Chains A and B, each alone.
Chain A
Amino acid sequence: MRLTCPHCGERDLREFAYKGDALALSRPEANAELQAWHEYLHIRDNPAGPTRELWYHTPCGSWMVAERDTATHAVHRTMTPAEATK
């Protein structure tokens, strides 16, 4: 698999680390209900299809959001976290 680092361009999978669903970027407010934190930490849509997830380009230290299909492994789009949360 190949992914496109927003800084470095397209690279081999072995340069990246996966960090789970991109909802990790949507950290609840500090005073949010425990249920909100539970969903943030544990509950996953886990689709067999298109998903948004976090990847880390280890050599350059860039975090990114990838739109990827978990059934086909097709990578549709990658972007910086800032672009993803706009």
Chain B
Amino acid sequence: MRIATGGLIDREKPIRFTFDGKPVTGFAGDTVASALLANDILLMGRSFKYHRPRGPVTAGSDEPNALVTVGEGAEARPNTRATCQEIYDGLTVTSQNRWPSLRFDAMAVNDLLSPFLAAGFYYKTFMWPRAFWEKLYEPIIRRAAGLGALSGQPDPDRSEKAFAHCDLLVIGAGPAGLAAALTAAEAGADVILATEDTRPGGRLLSETVTLGDQTGREWADRMAARLAAMGNVRVMARTTVTGVYDSGTYGALERVAEHVMPGEAPPTCFWRLVARQAILATGALERPIAFPMNDRPGILSAAATRTYLNRYAVSPGARVAVFGNNDDAHRTATDLAAAGVTVAALIDTREDATSDGAWPFYPGAEVIETQGRLRLEGLTIRKPGGTLRIGADALAVAGGWNPALHLTCHMNGRPVWQEDIAAFVPTANAIPGLTPCGAALGTFSTAGCLEDGRRAAEAALDALGHSPKPIDLPDAEDTPYSPPATWAVTAPGRAWLDLQNDVTTKDVHLAARENFRSVEHMKRYTTQGMATDQGKGSNVTALAILADATGRTIPETGTTTFRPPYVPVPISSMGAGHAGKGFAPERFTTSHEASTARAAPMIEAGLWYRPSYFPVHGEKTWRESCDREVRMVRECVGVSDVSTLGKIDIQGPGAAEFLDLVYTGTFSTLKEGRIRYGLMLREDGHVMDDGTTARLGPQHYLMTTTTAAAGPVMAHLEFVAQGLRPDLDVKLTSVTDHWAQFAVAGPRARDLLNSLLEEEVTDDAVPFMSCWLATVSGVPVRLYRISFSGERGYEIAVPARYGAALWRLLVAQAESLGGGAYGIEALNVLRIEKGFITHAEIHGRTTAYDIGMQAMMSKTKDFIGKAAAARPGLTESTRERLVGLRPRDPANMPLPGGFLFTKGETPSRANAQGYVTSACWSPTLETHLALGFLASGPERMGETLRFTDHLRNRDFEVTVTDPVAFDQDGGRMRG
């Protein structure tokens, strides 16, 4: 119910939203939970396992119960904490994990079966009959999985990511965080102050404390305004630091626009914060007490009760009982009474507790049972002298505090037990550069937090080399913390620990009985702490129960730890901007537009796009186009964009020696103006890449790599230059993007060039494997006479700005000669006919020996990979080595990925002799052709083998041939 006055809500701004279709009205400043409570709606969810009715127990991100789906359509957000979601006009909120309705949930039958569904029961059953597990039991279990549901629609990917750097990151903006931020900012440090809340203040917004002559919230507002006015401070509200990573890197989730109707602003931003120093001022989380039937809607933490009361002007009930083991229970009763709410009873586990309030007070008493189904109706207490039933529609539980130390565990820090506050605190130096303070360190008074925040900031400033300036901190309450006395109430009935996963104290006792005595075993066996709240409220209590069950102290039993993220982070936040084409950069060649204008399908080649083929009118299949393009190159002339191949400019007095080291062959003897094919090995003796390298000058080479290996080869060359041979004076730079490069191939390639170039091309002047400079329409170009098709071939390179124009010109000239453009399908056929390899063959497991290039490995000089290539296992003749394959029936295609077997053998692993790597229809030879690897291949020329492709149901005979199927002596390309 709403309290008539007070709170940080704007009563002038009513907000209308719906919950399960029904209209609800709250005020600006409300969360879904506070607005629903204001409307006396306590039932907000169902638990995971037993589908028990549940209401909120917290007012923050540690909420295990009140999880709802907000919004509709593709961006509906399941499992949203009603305790954090701010309301806005038009918001739709839907409850989860119930059918047909939240009030009546058929799956609540599980609760009746709960005696049989104890921790880990599924490990012990569902095993018979064997087939039933996958056919029957598992599907039923899986159907019951989860709480909320995804929309099933593709997320529109509207969130964003960003980076920010600072000297000091202050995590949390309660009294400690504000004092720390102010201290650091006044000293001139660059500060980021991040708070999960919508505004700075922390618990000051929830409590009725005073700081000096101001209320807590007034002071917080003044401090926030002061910080916001400073140029060196960035206050990040609605921002939860989710993870701590190495070297002062923090992940943070900012809810940018989840509090407004979806619009153009990104819903969230995932921040990568880099801070030289950081301060952990995350406060503490109140813990529950495990008493029988402690899960009913209306049973809340006392701290949350005060938050609802003081911040949202909402009471969870009209008659509220308070149960606690420390002084916070009394504070809660005081606040309730001050707000005009009836305090049904104050129950304190401590026998020596006293109270002067005007409410029924029961010291030395415990709650041993509660009543009510969809909301609390009453409770039974055990007090000195007997039991008593108390009517109440809400119960606030004060179980003591756990420092919110979660982030200190992210780098393997193990919290340590501090007996005087009966809580775990951060271990010292858990995170380099991060200083915990305030309640996160176990300091629970307001004055203590302020002072601790200042101390932490001064330590951070010292590490940063800044001198602190004195700042004034107000006087504040400094009552000593009364350590909580109990964890659980011993009484019959189920007492919940992990509310969402329905883990009770009985489950922990069962784990102990079955010898899952390690905390990790207990958690994994019972699923304690595995729910969406990650055990923020319950883990420490569960540990205490396990300690009790196994007769050990808490420190003997173990500790609690937490992994990132602190709060769950949407995949659409951490992966923002990467749906669709955003996943990886796109690289376009200069001929791209011209290719797509001709309806060429563009194929991904690494990050590049390359044309598959260029269909002409009347062609119905890619094969028709491809065959035509192959014939065009073989019979006339074709033009193809080869700009995607890597091009590395290599210069310097040491360039020749450098190339001799990185290639198997010798490049120091290459003459200026000539080109040589090069094979590059990894140091482990296997082939890394191949390509041609031209000598442009005495100390100047241009290396070509394959498209795929351009980046790795560049890094490799830099490694050799900087790491292995820094003595060589050699300079490397990639020029891949500077040049647009086009292959002109075919018997009429020279004619085509001569129609463009100002100086005539003759074979005497430019024999095969030579390069020269020329001009086209006054633009200087580089020309290379090389061939990947087996025909007379040239590659013409022009600065990229002229690429589009030159491509159009080349295609036009080719067409005027009867040729045209060809794509990578034809390029592939042309090279298979010639037995030229690609990464289909040099797939990382092949040696120069395997591909028949052992002769290219110089015997007279060292080169990368030489020693390892000489290992006995890499030179055995029985290795699978490159061969050509031709089907006995030319119509059969030996598909790549199919296997080779000795004729007559069954196609099994033990019998496999090799496999096919590349295949095509050769319009030139009018047969299918293939390349593949075959055990002892070159020794088996002419042998008939069995080809089998189980997947595509092919089984026929092929003959082993030389890899070069067309123009074996190379006369066509040499011209």
Name A's B-contacting residues (CB within 8 A).
1-2, 12-13, 17, 19, 24-25, 27-28, 30, 32, 34, 37, 41, 54, 56, 58, 61-63, 72-75, 80-82
Contacts and interface: CB of A to CB of B under 8 A. Distances in A.
Interface in B705-736: 714-715, 718-719, 722-724, 726, 732
B247, B432, B683: residue with the most chain A Cβ atoms closer than 10 Å: B247
Given A28-B867, A41-B684, A82 B726 contact: yes
A34 B874 CA distance: 13
Given A27-B724, A41-B684, A81-B726, A1 B719 contact: no
A83 to B, nearest CB: 10
B248 interface: yes
B867 A25 contact: no
Contacts of A19: 719
Contact of B719 (A12, A56, A73): A56
Contacts of B274: 2, 12
Interface of chain A, main secondary structure: mixed
Contact of A41 (B432, B683, B726): B683
B862 interface: yes
Nearest to A82: B726
Interface in B211-255: 245-249
Given A54-B723, A81-B723, A41 B868 contact: yes
A12 B871 CA distance: 40
Interface string B860-879: 00100011101100000000
Nearest to B163: A12
Interface string B644-686: 0000000000000000000000000000000000000001100
B867 A1 contact: no
Contacts of A28: 867
Contact of A62 (B411, B432, B722): B722
Given A2-B249, A72-B411, 15 more contacts: A1-B245, A1-B246, A2-B246, A2-B248, A13-B249, A17-B715, A24-B723, A25-B723, A27-B724, A41-B684, A61-B715, A73-B246, A74-B246, A75-B247, A82-B726
Contacts, number: 66
Contacts of A61: 714-715, 718, 732
Contacts of A82: 722, 726
B276 to A, nearest CB: 10
Nearest to B863: A30
Nearest to A68: B246
B407 to A, nearest CB: 16
Contacts of A73: 246-247, 411
A72 B246 CA distance: 9
Contacts of B724: 25, 27
Interface of B: 163, 245-249, 272, 274, 411, 432, 683-684, 714-715, 718-719, 722-724, 726, 732, 862, 866-868, 870-871
Contacts of A2: 246-249, 274
Nearest to A14: B272
Contacts of B684: 41
13 contacts: A1-B245, A12-B272, A13-B246, A17-B715, A25-B723, A54-B723, A61-B715, A62-B718, A72-B411, A73-B246, A73-B411, A75-B247, A82-B722
Contacts of A62: 718, 722
A81 B722 contact: yes
Contacts of A37: 867-868
A13 B247 CA distance: 10
Contacts of A56: 715, 718-719
A65 B111 CA distance: 60
B93 to A, nearest CB: 38
Nearest to A75: B247
Nearest to B718: A61
Contacts of B862: 30
Given A1-B249, A54-B723, A34 B718 contact: no
B867 A63 contact: no
A32 B866 CA distance: 11
Contacts of A12: 163, 249, 272, 274
A54 B862 CA distance: 23
Nearest to A61: B718
A52 B828 CA distance: 44
Nearest to B715: A56
B722 A63 contact: yes
Q: Which of B715, B718, B723, B726 has the most CB of A within 10 A?
A: B723
Nearest to B871: A34
A54 B720 CA distance: 12
A81 B432 CA distance: 28
Nearest to A30: B862
Contact of B722 (A1, A13, A74, A80): A80
Contacts of B714: 61
B649 to A, nearest CB: 13
Q: Counting chain A CB atoms within 10 Å of each CB, which of B246, B274, B683, B715 scores highest?
A: B246
